[in-house]
Structure 1
Amino acid sequence: MKDKFKIGIDYGGTKIEAILMNDKGDEIKRERSEYDRNYESGISTVKKFVKTFKKVSNSEATVGIAIPGYSSKETGLVHNANSDWLNNKHFKKDLEKNLNCEVKIMNDANCFTLSEAIDGAGKDFKSVFGIIIGTGFGSGLSYKKEVIEGANQVAGDWGHQPLPYPTEEEINLKIKCNLPTCGRPLCAEQFISGAGFAKNFNLKHNTNYKAPEIAALDKKGDLKANKEFELYEDRFARLIAVMIGIFDPEAIILGGGMSNTERLYKNLPNIIPKYTFADKVRTKILKNKHGDSSGVRGAAWLWD
């Protein structure tokens, strides 16, 4: 029987990555390319990848695309994209015209979650919540290996919700999200994303560290870094507890740069019960299996 092939595209803010997989999830080819950070260049780059990969497969292949936003099922327009040139554009329609084939588009956090649910760290669980903690803070839901988008296509994406149970210190920080689509005080992304974590530490101590550098300081026994991570873990636990009260997943999979912080997997399970209305928290907190590849693999799996 002839193999069927899937092409996955991860449309990032500065780079576009593509993967060619067979139906078993085996990687056949992978490429990554920078582009000119505009609408036309993005479409041209995707078209180049699809053309190249279809030649490699010597057959037709399905095309799935992960984007940093979502494509409205009602209007076809893209909303909430960090790559702002995508917003209010008929991206799906324009791609299909250029590629001469149907494409499926979904939010990149959803694609990450789908990838980990199908053959990643969450493959043995029915309900999975995927969280990407990098420059931003995004998440998605999966049940029985399928993404739950929700009526408004934002199910699980609680990255821009206010931090729950804020302390007096957190309120006095007067942290507010600058994104025009958010603008909320106590926006969770400003506390939990790698960029937000580093910014809060640097403002407090008049330093200029990046999140991995603060993590390295913590490993060396730096008391300031350790204290900041204790605050971070408590804030993260509060957010997770709220989500558990709504979706109650069997597994939570962490991705993005902050997922490499090993202490999270030890400490979060001990703090979450403090804020969760349950006799015992059985939800597993797990590190992703596919790393930076999860988004692009999830895009390919949109056609599973």
Structure 2
Amino acid sequence: MKYYLGLDVGGTNLAAGIVDENCNLLHKESIPAGAGRSVEEITSDMAKVSKSVVKHLGLPMSKISFWGIGMPSYVNPQTGLLVHANCFGWKNLDIYSYLQKHSSLPIYIENDANCAALGEVLAGAGKGYHDVLMLTLGTGLGGGIILNKKIYAGADMMGAELGHTKLCYHGSSCTCGQLGCAEAYCSATALIRQAKEALQGNESSVMYELCGKNPEQLNAKMVVDAYKMGDQVAQNVFLQYVDYLSCAMSSFIVIFRPEIIILGGGVSNVGDTLLLPLKKKVMENTYAADVIGVPEIRLAECGNDAGIIGAAMLEKYGMDRKKNGVS
């Protein structure tokens, strides 16, 4: 049996796990990421939690031939530098030099959204499919594209940033600094912003009560709860959000024509409350949908494990990207 080591790096947690050759997650551990600390401290903890899962299973490190890491960024294949991990404030960072201080294993770094998409294809909702698109509806709008069961990220391996495709010309500000990105309309953060805007002058809305009459405490669940309770303001907000998301998805569909689209992240946890109106809107907004149909839309199944599984299996299913920053 072969074993693979994967690490999913986020702004909140560092989650590591051991995956076998059948893509089963055998053991995982998670520790706080501690964003705001030094690069040395965070990369040391990345190695520490990764080594801990290996030790837990009683495996010698010699049994692990590879360390796969999902990061909220890309590594530039020409320079070997981590481009921009916004949650840590890292930009053009020589990430390999820090990690190599703690491990002699070959290191493979990939964008975390791509890892999550690969994990779902190998062990979750995308199992059995070859061409899959995944969107993560969380703090941002993560996107991953799997073509022929391999990660696709363009000629320079730094593409597939679906959340930063333009949805509205000169539209709302995005955290990336651009205007009108899909992320600024389709993320959980966007849903909350839209609800706060709608609450202005609408204090009679159920949402106002659910957030304790303090809109700054409003979250996505409160918006959905008010929507399900029949609150008109919440219904207007949520259905507009669904419309935004369907428009973004319709563009991705006509470009890639995936077999299925998988939805993950916090907003997807509401299940059919999102899926039913979304499927209807995708049919309405997608070119030639009445003739050729649209891909199946399915909820993610692996949860937070998808990123670990995908990272662990990068050596087998990832792109031909540099390892340890060396060709």
TM-score relative to the length of structure 2:
0.84
Shift of 1:69: 0.7
SS of residue matched to 2:304? helix
The one-letter amino acid of 1:293's match is D
1:102 partnered with 2:106: yes
Quick check: 204-213 or 113-122, which moved more?
Answer: 204-213
Q: Is the 8 A contact 2:8 2:14 kept in 1?
A: yes
SS of residue matched to 1:70? coil
CA 1:155–1:249: 2 relative to 1, 3 Å: farther
Give the match for residue 254 of structure 2: 245
Superposed, 1:86-101 pairs within 5 Å as 86-101=90-105
Distance 2:300 2:6 in 1: 18
Give the match for residue 175 of structure 1: 172
Structure 2: runs of 5 or more not aligned? 201-214, 317-327
- Identity in percent: 30
Distance 1:86 1:138 in 2: 19
SS of residue matched to 2:287? coil
Give the match for residue 282 of structure 1: 294
Superposed, 1:183-198 pairs within 5 Å as 183-198=177-192
2:140 to 136, 139, 147: 136
The one-letter amino acid of 2:159's match is A
Q: Is the 8 A contact 1:5 1:57 kept in 2?
A: no
Shift of 1:219: 1.6
Distance 2:112 2:50 in 1: 19
Distance 2:158 2:245 in 1: 20
Deviations 1:194-248 (A, max 9, x none): 0111011112214341001111111222121111111011111111111111111
Give the match for residue 152 of structure 2: 148
Taking only aligned residues, the RMSD between alpha carbons, in angstroms, comes to 1.8
1:202 to 187, 196, 204: 196
Q: Is the 8 A contact 2:253 2:294 kept in 1?
A: no
1:236 to 239, 242, 245: 245
Q: Is the 8 A contact 1:64 1:103 kept in 2?
A: yes
Q: Is the 8 A contact 1:104 1:302 kept in 2?
A: yes
Distance 2:177 2:25 in 1: 40
Structure 1: runs of 5 or more not aligned? none
Quick check: 7-16 or 34-43, which moved more?
Answer: 34-43
Shift of 1:87: 1.9
Q: Is the 8 A contact 2:11 2:33 kept in 1?
A: no
Give the match for residue 66 of structure 1: 70
Quick check: 271-280 or 74-83, which moved more?
Answer: 271-280
TM-score relative to the length of structure 1:
0.90
Give the match for residue 40 of structure 2: 40
The one-letter amino acid of 2:294's match is R
Distance 1:13 1:272 in 2: 32
Deviations 1:93-144 (A, max 9, x none): 4313421111111001100100111121011222100111100111010022
